[in-house]
Structure formats: structure tokens, C-alpha cells
Amino acid sequence: MAEAEPQEENCENSIETMEKCNKDLETLLEEMERITVRAAWMTYGIVTIHTNPDLASSMKHLEDAFLRCKEQVGRKWQEVLKESKGEEE
Amino acid sequence: MEKENPFKLFVPPRLSAGQPSAVRTQGFNKCPGDDFKLPFRTLNRGEVADSATMSQQVKLCSEVDEEFENEKLHLKLEDELCEKKDLLKENTASRHLCNLLKETCTHFTEKTSKYEQEREETRQLYEELHSNIERMTVAFEELRGQAENDRLEMSFKLKEEAEKMEKLKRDCKLEVSQKEEQISALIIQSDEKDDVIRDIKAQLQESQNKIADLIEEKREMLKESQVNQEHLRAELKEAKTSLEKAEVTQKSLENEFQTTVKTLIQVTEEKEAQEEECKKTKALHAALTAEFETSIANLKSLLQKEQNRLEKCEDESKLLTLELRNKSAELEEMTKLKCDKEMQVEELSGTLEKIEGLLLKKEHLEATVESLQEREEETKNVLQMREKEIHDLKAQLTSTAEKEQDYLNQLLTLKTDLEQEMLKNEQLTVCINKLSLEKEQIAQEKSDVAAELKKLQESHKDSKKNEENTKQLVENLEEANDQLRNELESLKEKMAKTGEEIESKLDEREENMNNLKKQVENKTKCIEELQQENKVLKKKITAESKKTSIYEGKVNKLQLELENMNKQHKETVDSYQKDIETKKVNENKLHEEVEKLKLLYDEATMIQRETDIRCQHKIKEMVALMEKHKHEYDKMVEEKDAELKLYKIKQQEQLSSERSLESELSRLKSELSSLKEQLKEEIEEKENLVKKHSQNRVPETEMEHKTYVIKTPPVHTLQGERSTTLPPEQSTRKKQKVLLHLDTHSDSSEHSDLLSMVSEEKMFKKLYQDYPQASQLYSTAPKKTPTLSSVKSPGSALKLKAMRKMHEAGWAAVSKVDRRRKIKEVAKFFA
């Protein structure tokens, strides 16, 4: 009998602990949900950031401009030289 | 222990995703433990026996069942305990897991926060990168643009410099080419100058010839102009003579006009005197007419009174006749007397009808007078038209006179112009003389220059000849040199050839050589001398070339001077030609004007002649018209005199008729008185006849027949007397005093004259309607009625005489008036 009482008390404690566990589990679930949402948002943000074409396009523009400048600068002097040579001739 | 073996705890891994479903698998492992217990307990049941055994068995069975149930319950409880333990373990595990999850969550949140920070940082970095990249692109583009601009500028500069270089090259080339061209041009110019010198020389000769020709032409032109001037002068003289002639004719015409005007004035004066005389006669006639009018008025009053009396008597007679007619049943004799009276009345009506016929005749005559008056009006209109024509002709004459004056003025202006042109011609001749002198001087200078040129040419030619001679000498000398050289060479060869062959002849040949050398020296000397001569000649040639250049300079100067002179000559020639042309034009204009003036003069003369002719014709026509009118007027006057005669006759007849009527009136009155007495007697007799009808009728008829015995004097005698009186008096028209000798003693009645008198009156009225002057003379008295009052016979005769005088004076006045009017019209025409 004495075993029954603590058992009953254990049962009650277990129930309580079970209820506590349920509640904790629920809270945890909610947190997990939040975390998953955040993770989804993070992934979305990362994707958007990583897949942003502006950078690439701007980089391409930069490259194009750089190349044009290079060409121009190179051409300028080449043409000047050619013209000078042509004039001299 | 074996019981514990099947109990396996399924512990899931910590980090992996927990699977709560794994906890449930523990229940299955517990089942085989139950199977071991059951078969053990089942074996124990078989050993017990049946009866006691049965009760025992039942008891045992119930005990077993209870034990079984207890065991089951134990097992269940153990199971549940195990389950609880498991559950607790699971809980603890789940708690551990939960704690782990929390930790993980916290870690995750931290990481998310870090991530967000890093994301923001990355965004900022990206933005910075973007901005940097944009700046870089912009900078690169600016650099590119700057590079392009620099390149373009450089290229432009290079191009410009290249273009400048090219321009400079072109300019240099152009300058080079220009200089080359200039050089060539100078060479060509030098050649051309030589040619120009030759051309100028030829032109000099040509210009000299042209100048000579122009001088000759100018002389000829001067001669022609002088001839034209002389012709123009002659034409002017002719025009002057014609003008003088025209003036003379004008003067003659004017004199004629003046004479005609004077004659017309005289005629007008005469006619005015006649008019005055007529006016006097008119005044007299007016007075007479006034007297006659008063007499006529008196007679009219008397006639009216007598008419009234007659009317009254008629009324009374009518009453009496009515009374008689009322009583006529028994007075057949009275009716017969009434018939006789009616017959007489009818006769009187016949006379009235005759009078009416005469009146109609008067009306016809008046109509004819009106027609004549209309003719006169027409003739007046014709005269007015002719007067207008005369006015027009006068106006034309005035216009022609004005035109002639204008032509005179134009001639004067033309004279002045001609004088001016003469002066200009004289001035031009002076200038031409001067220019001719200058031309002669220039010709002399030209001749001198030509002589100099010729001298220069000759000298040039001589120099050229000398040059040529020197050239020929040089050439000859050169040829001689060449020949000598050739000879030298031949000689040398000969010497070389013969040197070996002939040594003995060396001396001779040496001598010959010496001689030849001497000759060669001499020739060289000569050559030198010739060369010196050539040099001298060349110097001379250079000097002469200089001289020629100087001469050429002089020639150029002279050419320039010649050109200037030629230009001046041309200018002067042109000016002279222009002057000549202007003069020609002026001369042509003057010729044309002269011709125009001639034509105008001819036209004016023609017009004058025509006007003269017209004037003469019109004068003739007017004269003819005047004569015609005179004739017509004479005819008219004659006709009217005849008519007057007729009217006079008719008037006389009417007067006679008047008298007769008056006598008849008196007779009628007497008869009426007698009738009244008779009526009274008859009334008395009627009273008696009422008693005795048939006895009184016969004597009354006899009485009545007796009373109405009419005694008529012979009409022929009167007419003859009238006719005798009138013809000798017709010869004098003006102021005729017709004395009509009539038998005033003839108191007898006259039948047929009443109506004629009446008709004469009407005709007289018609004739004198248009002549108010004569209307005064017109006698209104002879408005005759069948019933006339008693006329005083002597006074009536005098009055008749005056009447006839007035009639004829009126006709004369009418004729005078007509003549005066026509003469006035003619005077206006001629004035």
C-alpha cells in the first residue's frame, strides 16, 4: 500500500509532468515554427541577395567601360601614331 | 533475467530530427514475456485430481483464475509501471530533447540575428559596391569620352596641321608655278613687245591714214552742214516770205471784213433810221388806232344799244306776231306778210351765210398767213443757223489767226534756235579749226616721230646688218679657223708621215714648219685680232642693243603717247560725231518742224481759203437769201398788197353791207315803227276787222310790199371805183394814203357785202395776228352783224380811209420789220 501511494503520487506527478511536457512541447513547437519561418525567410533573403543580377550587371558595365577606356586609350595613341606616320609619309 | 531481455529501449539520436513514433515500439517487445508465464501456469493445472479434486479443482481453478488474474494484473501493473518508467524516461529524454531544442533554438535565433546583421551588412556592402561600380563606370565613361575628345582634338589638330602643310606646299607650288608662269609670261611679253612694236608701227601708219581720212570727212561734214545751213536759211526766207504773204492776205481779209462790217453798220444805221421812221408812223398809227378804237368802242356801244333795241323790238314784234297769230285765223294776209318777212329773214340768213363764207375765207387766209408766218419762222431759223455758221466761221478764223500767231511764235523760236545753232556751228567751226591745227601739229609731230622711227629703224637695220656682217665674218673666221685646224692636222699628219720618209727634207720642212708656224702665228694673231674685233663688235652690239633698248623705251613712250593721242583723237572724233549726230538730229527735227509748220501753214492757208470761200459763198447765199427774201418779201408784199386790196374790197363791201345793213336796220326800224303803227292801226282795224276780215288784207299786202322796196346801187360802179383808186396807189408802198372815193350818197342797201365784209375782217384778223404793230391798225370795229346801227356816212368814209392807210402802213411796217430783222441777222453774220 505504501507503494501505491507514492505510485499514485508518482502518477499524479507524472501527469503533471506530462502536462508540463505537453506544454513545453507546444511552446517548443511554436518556437520551432518560428525558427522554421525565420529560416525560410533567411533562405529567401540569401537567395535574393545571392541571385541579385544588379551586381553582375554593374560589374559587367564596369568591365565594359574599363575595356572601352582601355581600347580608347590604346586606340588614341595608336591612331595618333598612325596619323603622324601617315603625315610624315 | 530473461524477462528483462526483451525490454529494449529505443533511444533516438540527439541531433537528428526526433521521431516520437519510435517510443511506441517498446510495447511490442513486452509481449513475448507474457507467453513464458502462461504456459508454466497451465502445466500446474493438470496434476490435481478430480472430485475433491473437483471442488478442489474448482477452487483451485478459481484460485488459479484469481492467480491468473492477479498475475495478469501484476503483469499489467508491471507493464504499466514499465510503461510509466519508459514514459518517464521518454519524458526525461523529451525534456532533454526539448532543452536541446531550446538550446538549438536559441542558437538558431542567435544565428538568425547574426545572419540578419550580416545580411544587412551584405546589403550595405552591395549598395556600396553598386555605388562604387557606378562611380567606376561613370569614371571609365568619362575617361573614354575624354580620351575620344582628346583623340578627336589631336586628330583635328593633326588634320589641320596636315592641311596647313598641304596648303603651304600648294602655296609653294603655286608660287613656283606662278613664278615659272611669270617667267614664261615675261618671255612671251618680251616677244610680244617686239611684235607690238611692229604692230604699233603699222597702226601708226594706219592711224595717220585714218586721221587724214577723218579730217577729210570732217571737212566734208562741215561743208555739208554749211550747205544745210544755207538750205535752212533759204527755207527760212521762204517761210518768212510766205508768212509775209499770209499776213498780207490776213490784212486784206481784215480790211475786207472791216469794210463789210462798215457796210453792215451803215445798213444797220439806215435800217435803224427806217425803224425810227416806222416807229414814228407806228406812233401815229397807234394814235389813229386809239382814235379808231374809241370810235369803234362807241360804235360797238351804239351797236349794242341798237342790238338791245332790236331785241326789244323783236320781242315786241314777237308779242305782236303772237297776238296776230292768235288772231291769224282771220289774218291770212298778216301771215303772208310774215312769210314775206321770213323770206327776207332767209335772205338775210343767206347773206349771213355768205358772211360766214367770207369769214371762212378769212380763216383760210389767216391759215395761209400762219403758214407764211411759219415759213418766215423757218427762214428765221435758217438765218439763225446761218448766223451760227457765221459765228463758227468767225471762231475758226479767230482760231486760225491764233494758230498763225502760234506759228509765228514758233517760227520766231525756231529763228532763235537757228541763230543759236549758227553760233554753235561757228563755235564748233572754230573748235574744229583749232583741232585741225592741233591735228596738223600732231601730224607734224607724228611725221617727225615717224622720221625718227625710220631713222631708228634704219640705224637698227644698219646695226643689224653690221651684226649680220660681223656674224658672217665671225662665221667665216670660224670656218677659216676650222679649215685651218683641219689643215694643221693634215699638215701634222703629213709631217708625221713624211718625217720618217724624208729626213733630208726636215730642214726644208722645218723651215716650212717654221714658215707654217709663222703663218700659224700670224693667223693666230689674225684670229686674235679677229677675236678682238669680235669682242669689239660684240661690245658695239651690246651698246647698240642698249641703244635699241633705249630706243625701244622711247618707242614705247611714243607709242603710249600715240595711244593717248589716238584716244584723245577718238574722243574728240566721238564728241564731234556725237555733235554731228546731235546736229543732224536737230536738223532733222528742225526739218520736221519746218515741214510741220509748212503743212500747218498750208493747212492754215487752205483753211483760210476755205473760210474765205465759205464766207464768200455764205455772203453770196445770204445775199441770195436776202434777194430771195427780198423777192419773197416783195412777193409777199405784193401778195399781201393784193390781199389787202381784196380785204379792202371786202371791207368796202362789208362797209357797204354794213351800210346796207344799217340802212336796213333803219329801214327795219322805220318798218318796225311803221309796223307798230300798222299794228296799232291793225289792232284798230282788227277791232274793225273782227267785224270785217277780208276787206283789210289786200291793202296791207300792198303796203308791205311797197315799204320793202330795196334800192341797190350798182356794185360794179363801186368796185370799179375802188379798182381805179387802188392801182395808181400801189406803186407807192410806204405811207400810202389811199383815198377811197365811195358814193356815200348811196343809202341803198347792199346785199352781198355783209358777208364779204365779215370774211374780210376775219382774214384781216388772221393776217395781222403776228404783227402786233398792225393790230393797232386793225379795226375791230368792223365786227359786223346783220343788224347795224346807223353809221355816220362822212365820218365813216374818213375812218375807212384812215383804216386803209393803217392797213397799208401796217403791211409796210410788217415788211420793214421783216427786213430789219433779216438785216440784223446779216449784220450779225458779217460783224
Q: Render pLDDT for B92-141 as a digit per residue (tens, 0 to 9).
A: 777 787 788 788 888 888 888 888 888 888 888 888 888 888 888 888 88
Mutate to test the interface with B, among A1, A15, A21 (most CBs of B within 10 A): A21
Query: Could you tell me which residues come within 8 angstroms of residue B70 by beta carbon, excluding any fewer than 6 positions away?
Result: none
pLDDT digits (tens, 9 = 90+) for B573-614: 888 888 888 988 888 888 888 888 888 888 888 888 888 888
pLDDT digits (tens, 9 = 90+) for B329-349: 777 888 888 788 889 888 888
- Torsion angle of C-alpha atoms B333, B334, B339, B342, degrees rounded to 10: 160
Q: Could you tell me if B800 and B718 are in contact, meaning their C-beta atoms sit under 8 angstroms apart?
A: no
Supply the pLDDT for residue B14.
Answer: 40
pLDDT band at B33 (very low <50, low <70, confident <90, very high): very low
Ranges assigned E (strand) in B582-662: none
Answer with the residue of higher pLDDT: B23 or B499.
B499
Q: Could you tell me if B137 and A68 are in contact, meaning their C-beta atoms sit under 8 angstroms apart?
A: no
Max avg pLDDT among A75-89, B30-44, B461-475, B685-699: B461-475
Confidence check: pLDDT of B391 > 60: yes
Answer with the residue of higher pLDDT: B77 or A17.
B77
Chain A residues whose C-beta is within 8 A of a chain B C-beta are 7, 10-11, 14, 17-18, 21, 24-25, 28, 31-32, 35, 38-39, 42, 45-46, 49, 52, 54-55, 58-59, 61-62, 65-66, 68-69, 72-73, 75-76, 79-80, 83-84, 87
Q: How far is B148 from chain A (nearest CA, A)?
A: 7
pLDDT digits (tens, 9 = 90+) for B234-245: 999 998 999 899
Q: Could you tell me if B98 and A20 are in contact, meaning their C-beta atoms sit under 8 angstroms apart?
A: no
Tell me which residue in A54, A66, A76 faces B140 most closely, judged by beta carbons.
Answer: A66
Pairwise CB contact (< 8 Å): A62 & B136: yes
Confidence check: pLDDT of B229 > 70: yes
Mutate to test the interface with B, among A19, A46, A60, A69 (most CBs of B within 10 A): A69
Pairwise CB contact (< 8 Å): B155 & A72: no
pLDDT digits (tens, 9 = 90+) for B180-191: 988 998 898 899
* Percent of chain B's residues with pLDDT above 70: 78
Confidence check: pLDDT of B310 > 50: yes
Answer with the residue of higher pLDDT: B788 or B201.
B201
| Mean pLDDT computed over B670-678 | 83
Answer with the residue of higher pLDDT: B348 or B208.
B208
Supply the pLDDT for residue B187.
Answer: 92
* Amino acid (one-letter) located at B831: A
pLDDT digits (tens, 9 = 90+) for B131-178: 888 888 888 888 888 888 887 888 788 888 888 898 899 999 999 998
Tell me which residue in B88, B94, B143 faces A14 most closely, judged by beta carbons.
Answer: B88
Pairwise CB contact (< 8 Å): B158 & A72: no
| Mean pLDDT computed over A3-19 | 68
Pairwise CB contact (< 8 Å): B165 & A87: yes
* Cα–Cα distance list, B604 to B248, B393, B398, B400, B617 (Å): 14, 13, 12, 6, 19
- Mapped onto helix, strand or coil, the DSSP state of residue B198 is helix
Kindly calculate the radius of gyration of chain A based on its CA atoms and give it in whole angstroms: 37
Supply the pLDDT for residue B708.
Answer: 42
Q: Cα–Cα–Cα angle for B208, B210, B215, nearest 5°?
A: 95
Q: At what angle do helices B793-830 and B332-501 cross, to 10 degrees?
A: 0
Answer with the residue of higher pLDDT: B236 or B693.
B236
Q: What is the residue extent of each domain of chain A?
A: 7-51, 53-84
Pairwise CB contact (< 8 Å): B140 & A55: no
Confidence check: pLDDT of B740 > 70: no
Residue of chain A with shortest Cα separation from B162: A87
pLDDT digits (tens, 9 = 90+) for A73-88: 777 677 777 777 776 5
Supply the pLDDT for residue B733.
Answer: 42
All 3 cell numbers of residue B562?
Answer: 600715240
CB atoms within 10 A of CB B330: 15
Supply the pLDDT for residue B202.
Answer: 92
Q: Could you tell me if B656 and B718 are in contact, meaning their C-beta atoms sit under 8 angstroms apart?
A: yes
DSSP string for B658-714: HHHHHHHHHHHHHHHHHHHHHHHHHHHHHHHHTT-STTTHHHHHHHHHHHT------
Supply the pLDDT for residue B134.
Answer: 84
- Mapped onto helix, strand or coil, the DSSP state of residue B8 is coil
Confidence check: pLDDT of B223 > 90: yes
- Mapped onto helix, strand or coil, the DSSP state of residue B51 is strand
pLDDT band at B790 (very low <50, low <70, confident <90, very high): very low
* Percent of chain B's residues with pLDDT above 90: 11
First to last CA, chain B: 199
Query: Could you tell me which residues come within 8 angstroms of residue B248 by beta carbon, excluding any fewer than 6 positions away?
Result: none
pLDDT band at B696 (very low <50, low <70, confident <90, very high): low
Answer with the residue of higher pLDDT: B461 or B800.
B461
Query: Could you tell me which residues come within 8 angstroms of residue A7 by beta carbon, excluding any fewer than 6 positions away?
Result: B81
- Mapped onto helix, strand or coil, the DSSP state of residue B74 is helix
State the number of CA atoms in the 13 A half-sphere of A83 facing the CB. Answer: 19
Max avg pLDDT among B320-329, B441-450, B629-638, B772-781: B441-450
* Amino acid (one-letter) located at B704: E
pLDDT digits (tens, 9 = 90+) for B403-440: 889 988 988 998 898 899 889 889 988 988 998 898 89
| Mean pLDDT computed over B364-382 | 88
Supply the pLDDT for residue B632.
Answer: 76
Q: How far is CA B694 from the centre of its chain?
A: 115
Supply the pLDDT for residue A39.
Answer: 83
Pairwise CB contact (< 8 Å): B151 & A75: yes
- Name the average pLDDT for chain B: 77
Mutate to test the interface with B, among A18, A28, A37, A88 (most CBs of B within 10 A): A28
pLDDT digits (tens, 9 = 90+) for B631-664: 777 888 788 888 888 888 888 888 888 888 888 8
Long-range pairs, B125-132, Cβ under 8 A, ≥24: B126/A49, B126/A52, B126/A54, B126/A55, B129/A55, B129/A58, B130/A54, B130/A55, B130/A58
Tell me which residue in B126, B144, B165 faces A52 most closely, judged by beta carbons.
Answer: B126
CB atoms within 10 A of CB B789: 22
Confidence check: pLDDT of B277 > 50: yes
Tell me which residue in B95, B119, B154 faces A49 most closely, judged by beta carbons.
Answer: B119
Query: What's the CA gap between B597 and B238, in Å, rounded?
Result: 12
Task: Compute the residue count for chain A.
Answer: 89
